[in-house]
Amino acid sequence: MGAEELTAEFGIAGILDFIETQHGMVKAVTSLDGMTGELYLQGAQVTAWQPPDERPVLFTSANSAFAPERAIRGGVPIVFPWFGASRHTPTAPQHGFARTATWHLDGVETTGSGSLTLTLSLDDGDVGSPFWPDRFRAIYSVTFGQTLSLRLAVQNPAMHSILFEDALHSYFAISDVAEIAISGLAGATYIDKADAARRKVQTANLVTITAETDRVYLDTSGQCVIEDRGWRRRIVVGKDGSASSVVWNPWAEKAAAMVDLGEDAWRGMGCVETGNIADNEVRLAADAEHQMSTAISIAAAR
Ligand code: BG6
């Protein structure tokens, strides 16, 4: 559906609008009680969320191509059905196909408490990936409000179990990478992707970023909190149905090679992702559903 048809079916005057960009992509733009948000139908990707009287919470790179079938750098890409390079097919696209597929908008709902929920879906018929033989149906609910709540449900309509990884790859806007510390991961084992995938243990209470950081923390089902001293705020990343957490910042050298990021942008972004990855991949029985959700909110600095 194009922007005009979407506006006719789902638009809410002054609250929800659909816009076609210069590259022919369609995005939903919402504004409600001082909160603003934005979501591209490609990838069902939330690219902006800003509660009233707050700075933007998500980082989205202005240098992104914002072009069809190109991954958007920032916001919350959906990683599915594999994380990183596919372990089975090295030529498959990094982080799966869900982030570059166009999702269907199935419904919009407002609630009395100043929030708006968009429900989107994607199934194997929309994707037809040569790298993924299985059937699936994914349903994604995005609630823009005082909290940004994201829930990804994956259903297995097949007669046999399926195996997948997933992640809500949230990019956060931060004052400066040197000013943040992440709590919630102490004692966890992580796969250090910046050091030949060695397994290490998080001994320090807080994760700080002082070099390229690319870690998959295993068996971490609790919330993470980003303490940002520069902006005197905490970003609380609550989650459910997720056993892995990823912390990623490319640092200067890698960032310089990423045309969609821009030279200095890496200092103002940090990814803390909610997922089920590697040892924590999901085995979903026939006819079953798996849900993973994250609730992102802002709290004052301690
Ligand atoms: C992170 C991965 O989740 O995403 C990193 O752990 C990767 O290894 C990063 O570099 C960005 O991936 P992409 O495909 O969006 O450039």
The angle at the Cα of 175, spanning 19 to 144, to the nearest 5 degrees, equals 35
The structure tokens listed for 201 are: 């243990």
Cβ of residue 215 lying under 6 Å from some atom of ligand 1: no
For 212-251, what is each residue's pLDDT tens digit? 999 999 999 999 999 999 999 999 999 999 999 999 999 9
- Hey, whose CA ends up nearest to atom 6 of ligand 1? 214
Probe ligand 1: pick from 70, 166, 169, max atoms within 8 Å of CB?
169
| pLDDT score of 154 | 98
Residue 83 CA, closest ligand 1 atom number: 3
Going by C-beta distance under 8 Å and a sequence separation of 6 or more, which residues neighbour residue 210?
178
Which of 293, 34, 301, 44 lies closest to 148, judged by CA? 293
How far, in Å, from the CA of 250 to the mean position of ligand 1?
9
How far, in Å, from the CA of 143 to the mean position of ligand 1?
25
Residue 77 CA, closest ligand 1 atom number: 15
Which of 193, 238, 241 lies closest to 217, judged by CA? 193
Q: Rounded to whole angstroms, how far apart are CA atoms 166 and 98?
A: 10
Those residues of the chain that have pLDDT short of 70 are: none
Q: Which residue bears the tokens 């990019």?
A: 171
How far, in Å, from the CA of 276 to the mean position of ligand 1?
15
| pLDDT score of 45 | 98
H or E element, residue 9: helix 3-10
| pLDDT score of 37 | 98
How far, in Å, from the CA of 271 to the mean position of ligand 1?
9
